Structure 1
Amino acid sequence: MLSRPDIAVTGLGMLTPAGLDVPSTWNRVCDGKPTAATAGQLAALPVDFVCSLPPLDVPAHLGRRTAHRLDRSTQLAVIAAQEAIADAGLDPQTWNGARVGVVIGCGVGASHTWEAQAQRLRDGGPRRVSPLLLPKIGPSTPAGEIALAYGAQGPSLATATACASGATALVIASSLLTSGQCDVVIAGGTESCNTPLIVTGLAQLGALSTRCDDPAAASRPFDQARDGFVLGEAAAILILERAPDAAARGRRPRALLAGCGSTTDAYHPTAPHPDGRGIQQAIRTALADADLSPHDITHVNAHGTSTLLNDAVEAEAIRTVLPNGPHVTSTKGVLGHSLGATGAVEAALTVLAVQNSLIPPTANLERPDPACELNFVTRTAVSSRIDAAVTHSFGFGGHNVVLAFRAS
């Protein structure tokens, strides 16, 4: 069997609660400074805080007309793609668009548009509903709008595997490259659903922290005092190419996407299998795909949602499959949980950790739960050479995705 080419990550773009680009996001994540705060649109709800982006002038990036016709989740994706393409040193004016694909994951979708237009229908009747409603809310809209903005005429796809959607997008993107269908893929995830209905639904489910008196301390992955996750919003885009193609144009990768593992628990609509068998198999599959052994992994960017059951099950899976004690962190302590975007955000942060030999801390992890005993990075970032790392993404429906990255 012919060996497949390495997949190079040549560009990154991010908008997160920690910053509106890659450098500012990375710096705040490494500082371990949480972003959760009370949000005015959630006033009087049982949970009134989220992790929101800093103020963003969308028309300055996209123009007023384009900004008006896009839901916020799509706006973020298109802006993040702009940064990633520039970071990769690619020019949409000169590339062969037929060989460029787009794969974007989203877990919930255009909740800002759904809720606003439903209110218009209730208050003013059918004539008040925007004719842009359907084009705004389609799950494929972020991928389609990125393709439109940057002339990408290859496959344009949406992935929806709940909170693993952004990571699944990278799995599909890798396949498009190894199969030869594409030479470049713009891949990642986006989510912006810090809206009253979605926050209420998650609160009713019992998934959210209720620490309304101290939002900044609410997201505390693997901590004894954790009581649920904090909802966030974000978009992250990675530019993927075959490593030989990147080398041919003189581009050194930030890191290599070496392997992917995907499984499904087939156990429960929202809870992970209590023995973590799907998680463990996803890790093993990613390692085998990357031709890595468990002892090669020196860093894990954990899913680490700050929920009681999920953190404990994930910790046991890490102990079982990666017994050499790799440095473990969850960046959700800073950024919250951006659902369908989080897998792409954490993939990008893992790439940066590998590239910079620096592992961010897990914010608010003060007293690790004995049931979650791992080699956690806390308080301050740790400098450490990282030859290989994995990042975990899990979602409602039992979706498990693990990505393995190597230094380039």
Structure 2
Amino acid sequence: MDVPRVPQVQPSPTPPVLAITAHTATTALGRGRDAQASALRGRRGGLRRNDFGDGVAGDQRLDTWIGRVDGLEDVVLPATLARWDCRNNRLAWLALQHDAMAERVDALRAHRGAKRVALVLGTSTSSIGATEEAYARLVDGDRRFPPGLDEPIVHTPHSLGHFVQQLTGLRGPCITVATACSSSAKVFAQAARLINAGIVDAALVGGVDTLCGSVLFGFNSLGLVSAAPCRPFDAARDGLSLGEAGGYAIIERAEPGQPGLRLCGYGESSDAHHMSTPHPEGLGARLAMQAALARAGIEAGDVGYLNLHGTATPANDAVEARAVAALFPDTLHAGSTKGWTGHTLGAAGIVESVFALIALEEGLLPGTLNSDARDPACGAQIHFDNARSGSLRYAMNNSFGFGGNNCSLVFGTA
């Protein structure tokens, strides 16, 4: 019997320069890049008292603050995509409608060819909110999901990737990354490897996660949710505020002399110290940051802005602060933006990468919202004050997930 030959793809001897040619985010701060930049500049947070859902079995809502995207309940997907309808896919669709991202994807597909563009998306819970609703509304003697929630593809971790593939018409590799809170940071690394190997010429990367009962009550069961707006790196912090968000970026092989933003380096680690507790000495965090710097070919002192993972949980912030203080000089401007958006879980990587790209474009260096009493673990690198302005060549983003799934990214300008 003849066995089909698999074409052998030879990786590039010299990795191509990777350009970021478009980026967007939709969060509790608003829709699109300008809404994010305006809120960061004006220190206008997007957290509100929890008004999501009805709790469990009609019980009172969880007493916390959330970063909720307004208007998702009113979004109507195009008729051809109605079978994928759920909160998560609505946000995926909505986020693509801003900063001309849908038009940029169309142009990319036409220029590169649909099969030469990868789709790499991160999520931690995908459309599990729809699955919760489906079980709550079982019909026919509790044997069937109700109409509108009976599409199997909606109830899988790959729901997001499959939906955006249908939405965009991209036909290259389609990958859904689910590594907890580092998911949509790791998409940049995956896309870079696909391009470097010659498998594709470009990638649409991003991530989406939305609020649901499993997220709110699951994190609360771990004792990680605060009843007040989160206070990253504050000495009195007592937990996180959960949020939802979606965002995208386009990565392409840069043309010779092409100006603009660059993906300069990425670093990944998996210390596997504990299911939900970070390594006490920040081993995985430090390895990820060092690998990103090494791949970018720069020193720690070259980084002008670092968007910290900074969830406002007691253990995570202390560990990250120590790792940053050990690696970076005091001249670094670092801060956590989760006081603005909440912790958007699998979407945090893409959202906070967009914030790092805004820092490069505008010289906008956010501080840390809601916090004022510094944890003694914080070095001079971590700023609580108002946003600063400054010219910088490199910006960095940290995303650290459960199970020790860590990713750091370095962005720069040509």
TM-score, normalised to structure 1's length?
A: 0.91
Query: Alignment partner for residue 76 of structure 1, among 73, 76, 91?
Result: 91
Residue 106 of structure 1 aligns to which amino acid in structure 2?
T
1:15-38 CA distance string (max 9 Å, x none): 101002121122112222222212
TM-aligned CA deviation for residue 245 of structure 1: 7.4
CA distance in 2 between partners of 1:277 and 1:128 (Å): 45
Q: Measure how far apart 1:191 and its partner are.
A: 0.1
The corresponding residue for 1:51 is 67
1:4 aligns to 2:15 (yes or no): yes
Q: What is the one-letter code of the residue matched to 1:81?
A: L
Does 2:402 match 1:396? Answer: yes
The aligned counterpart of 2:349 is 343
Q: Which amino acid aligns with 1:108?
A: T
* Corresponding position of 1:214: none
Q: Does 1:121 align with 2:138?
A: yes
2:223 is the alignment partner of 1:240 = no
The residue aligned with 1:41 is 53
Distance 1:65 1:259 in 2: 38
Q: Are 2:300 and 1:282 aligned?
A: no
SS at 1:403 equivalent: strand
Letter of the 1:53 partner, please give it. V
Could you say which residue in structure 2 is the equivalent of 1:104?
A: 121
Aligned length: 395
CA contact (8 A) 1:191 1:234 kept: yes
8 Å Cα contact 1:92/1:150 also seen in 2: no
Compute the displacement of 1:9 (Å): 0.7
Deviations 1:68-106 (A, max 9, x none): 632221222233234363574852673411111100011
Q: Given that residues 53 and 61 in structure 2 are in contact (C-alpha distance below 8 angstroms), is that contact kept between their aligned partners in structure 1? A: no
* Higher alpha-carbon deviation: 256-265 or 65-74: 65-74
> Aligned residue for 1:168?
186
Report the equivalent of 1:91: 107
Which of 3-12 and 62-71 deviates more?
62-71
Q: 1:257 aligns to what SS in structure 2?
A: strand
Mind listing any 5+ residue stretches in structure 1 that lack a counterpart? 212-217
State the match for 1:21 in structure 2.
32
- The answer (yes or no) to whether the contact 2:137–2:146 under 8 Å persists in 1 is yes
Partner of residue 66, structure 1: 81
1:92 and 1:276, CA in 2 relative to 1: closer, same or farther beyond 3 A? Answer: closer
Q: In the alignment, residue 237 of structure 1 is paired with which amino acid? A: Y
Pair 1:203-2:214 in alignment: no
Among 241, 244, 250, the residue aligned to 1:230: 241
Root mean square deviation of aligned Cα: 2.2
1:267-318 Cα offsets, whole Å, 9 max, x none, are: 1100110001111111110011000111111211000001111001001110
Q: Secondary structure at the match of 1:397?
A: helix
Taking the aligned partners of 1:119 and 1:245, their CA distance within structure 2 comes to 56
Say which SS state the counterpart of residue 94 (structure 1) adopts: helix
1:369 aligned residue:
375
1:296-352, CA deviations, whole angstroms, 9 ceiling, x for partnerless residues? Answer: 112110000011110010011101111343001111010000100001111111011
Mapped partners of 2:368, 2:213: distance in 1: 28
In the superposition, relative to structure 1, how do residues 176 and 79 fare at CA in structure 2: closer, same or farther (>3 Å)? farther
Structure 1: distance between partners of 2:252 and 2:295: 18
C-alpha separation in 2, matches of 1:87 and 1:12: 12
**What residue in structure 2 maps to residue 215 of structure 1?**
none
- Per mean C-alpha deviation after superposition, the further-off stretch among 42-51 and 326-335 is 42-51
Q: Is contact 1:305-1:337 (8 Å) kept?
A: yes
Matching residue within 152, 164, 178 for 1:146: 164
**Displacement of 1:128 after TM fit?**
4.4
Distance 1:124 1:112, change over 3 A: farther
The 8 Å contact of residues 261 and 284 in structure 1, kept in 2 or not, is answered as yes
Residues of 2 paired with 1:383 and 1:241: CA distance? Answer: 29
Query: Is 2:41 the counterpart of 1:30?
Result: yes
What secondary structure, in the 3-state scheme, does the structure 2 residue paired with 1:371 have? coil
CA distance in 2, matches of 1:242, 1:354: 20
| Residue 220 of structure 1 pairs with residue 246 of structure 2 | no
Q: Cα–Cα, structure 1 residues 181 and 127, in superposed 2: closer, same or farther, change >3 Å?
A: same
TM-score (norm 2): 0.89
Distance 2:67 2:135 in 1: 24
Which residue is equivalent to 1:273?
A: 279
Cα distance in 2 for residues equivalent to 1:93 and 1:204:
44
Deviates more, 1:177-186 or 1:336-345: 177-186
Query: Cα gap change, 1:294/1:28 in structure 2, threshold over 3 Å: closer, same or farther?
Result: same
Q: Distance in 2 between matches of 1:243 and 1:235?
A: 25
Task: Indicate the SS of the match to 1:266.
Answer: coil
- State percent identity of aligned pairs: 32
Offset of 1:50 from its aligned partner? 1.3
Give the AA of the match of 2:204.
I
Alignment-mate amino acid for residue 201 of structure 1: G
Q: Give 3-state SS (helix, strand or coil) of 2:310's partner.
A: coil
Give the conservation status (yes or no) of the 8 Å contact 2:84–2:163.
no
Deviates more, 1:119-128 or 1:391-400: 119-128
Contact 2:186 2:407 survives alignment (8 Å): yes
Find out whether 1:302 has 2:308 as its counterpart: yes
Equivalent position SS for 2:121: strand
